[in-house]
Amino acid sequence: MRIPLILRIAALVVAATAFYTYVGRLVPQKEVYPPAEVEMKANMSTDEMVKVGRQIMEGKGMCFTCHTVGKQGPLRFPDLQGVGDRAKSREPGMNDVQYFEQTLYEPNAFIVPGFNPGMPVINKPPIGLTDQEILTVIATLQSMGGTPNVTMDTKLAHAAGGGGPASGTTTAGGTPAGGPPSGTTPAPTAAVATSTSATATPAVVTSSADPLRDFGCAGCHGLDGSPAGGKKGPSLVGKKIDPAALSSALVKAHGDTNQNLTLGQIKALAAGLAAGKSGS
């Protein structure tokens, strides 16, 4: 008995659907969420700073988008395994804290031989780490092959936008050796998040007066209501979208770039878009 063509087609469709459904279930499914806001305490120990710094490097800092740990071969940016030891002698006249400070605040001041410039200034948008977050990242970098000795009281010359040279030698207690010259008043240091109770106050920025510009959207998108013109992305003005949908859209359009925004920042972006102007 000859099977009708329509039945053969239907059987083929069912078999193909079943096969691709089975294969699809074998592929690991990954849901991407905004990074958790890391809680910062003013009195963290150095060991605690190392743990917090690692969280920041994996999330808001986006360090592992380009850096690896313990890999060989052609790499985009230098591998970080053993960097805590290498940093002590990487540049003449600089200790590890000074080198890491320069690397983070002035990434193009020294380029490791064999690599090209490209690392962003991480205390400015779109990453925008605070001075305290940078201290914890330095502690983590020191721990990769060395012994971390920075504290939350360690003074960095670049902190709070000072823009000066790398800080002086840091003692085990975290303060610059020698102190300020005699007869001078020490310059005010960057504010450190304080806690008035057993629960620390998170020291992260969750909003912005001008989120679409502060988070770097203007680099690719039009923000003034006019067509984007030569820009890579479409105009963003007047786009009403809820935070959950915006988070999903960012993942689809920018991939790991979304990892540097917290949920609070995504809400600020959504508010700015709905307001029909560049600011929220």
**C-alpha span between 185 and 199 (Å, rounded):** 33
For residues 143 and 205, which has the higher predicted lDDT (pLDDT)? 143
pLDDT computed for residue 211 by the predictor: 61
pLDDT computed for residue 166 by the predictor: 42
Could you tell me the two tokens for 52?
């917090």
Could you tell me the two tokens for 173?
């207690």
**C-alpha span between 213 and 221 (Å, rounded):** 10
Q: What is the residue extent of each domain of the chain?
A: 46-161, 211-274
DSSP state of 277: S
CATH number belonging to the domain at 46-161, selected among 3.40.50.300, 3.30.360.10, 3.30.70.100, 1.10.760.10: 1.10.760.10
Say if CB 125 and CB 215 are below 8 A apart: yes
**Would you say the pTM of this structure is higher than 0.75?**
no
Residue 142 has pLDDT above 90, yes or no: yes
For residues 12 and 215, which has the higher predicted lDDT (pLDDT)? 12
When pLDDT is averaged across residues 57-83 and rounded to a whole number, the result is: 90
**C-alpha span between 251 and 245 (Å, rounded):** 10
Q: What percent of the chain has pLDDT over 90?
A: 37
**C-alpha span between 218 and 126 (Å, rounded):** 11
